[in-house]
A and B are shown apart, each in its own frame.
Chain A
């Protein structure tokens, strides 16, 4: 019985995926793996769609701007927690970085269709909770929660 009281603390899935900075050959692989796992867990397509977007944009940010990082994902009965933690230059002005269209991306990155200044906005819009913190010279930490509705998204 005690177990049920804390059922919301049960982790149904948890993993930490390393992401290489600067390696566009592998960009998207982690998100594809995460999507496949959630699909196997039979989460609703709406949850999978949102987690895929949030993890993809986070992954691309690490590849584009950091030396290295990782994406940590935890699936609980009533939410998915995604954290993207990187070692990189960090973001000096978070308010500016959150503005749609603002980007520090290089020409090379922009030519590939990245760096349009939409990534962080997309992450925020597709998450139920979003938090960003950054230490200049050290790195950036994104924390996102996507809620699972027992009726609509049930596992």
Chain B
């Protein structure tokens, strides 16, 4: 475990394990640190208000989410409600090194669980 200012640093692996997420891309990137989260399906909203190191929770599955996550230096993307990424989304994720995780939980539940992990243990 790594700690910063007495708080545990949360990585993707911690969240994948806690929420039982399916890793569609980025099994080798799960040591990435997650410093926050952002929920949104409007890409302009995500561009304007999310931060570097955020785990982005969305139900958008098309390829344009990769450019957004990459431009914003997100830790990764969580697709909610069991939504699988489109084929070209996965291709771009591989190219841009963006982890894609799939949650069986709803957007609300996914965000709630991740929020709790980040705020109890780290964040």
* A binding-site residues for B, Cβ under 8 Å: 24-25, 27-29, 31-32, 35, 45, 49, 52-53, 56-57, 60, 112-114, 116, 118-119, 122, 125-126
Known contacts A28-B64, A112-B62; decide if A57 and B71 are in contact (CB<8 Å).
Answer: no
* B binding-site residues for A, Cβ under 8 Å: 41-45, 47-48, 52, 58, 60, 62-68, 70-72, 88, 96
A118–B67 contact, CB under 8 A?
Answer: no
Nearest opposing residue in chain B for A34, CB measure: B71
B48–A113 contact, CB under 8 A?
Answer: no
B44–A116 contact, CB under 8 A?
Answer: yes
Known contacts A45-B52, A52-B71, A56-B71; decide if A116 and B45 are in contact (CB<8 Å).
Answer: yes
B63–A118 contact, CB under 8 A?
Answer: no
Nearest opposing residue in chain B for A54, CB measure: B47
CB distance from A53 to the nearest CB of B (A): 5
Main SS of chain B's interface residues? Answer: helix
Complexed CA–CA distance, A116 and B70 (Å): 21
Q: 20 other contacts beyond A28-B64, A113-B64, A126-B48, with CB at 8 A cut-off?
A: A24-B62, A24-B63, A25-B88, A27-B64, A28-B66, A28-B68, A29-B67, A31-B71, A32-B70, A49-B52, A49-B72, A56-B67, A56-B71, A57-B44, A112-B64, A113-B65, A116-B42, A116-B43, A118-B42, A122-B44
A113–B43 contact, CB under 8 A?
Answer: yes
CB distance from A146 to the nearest CB of B (A): 15
> Would you give 8 A-B contacts (Cβ < 8 Å), ordered by A?
A28-B68, A57-B47, A113-B42, A113-B43, A113-B64, A114-B64, A119-B44, A126-B48
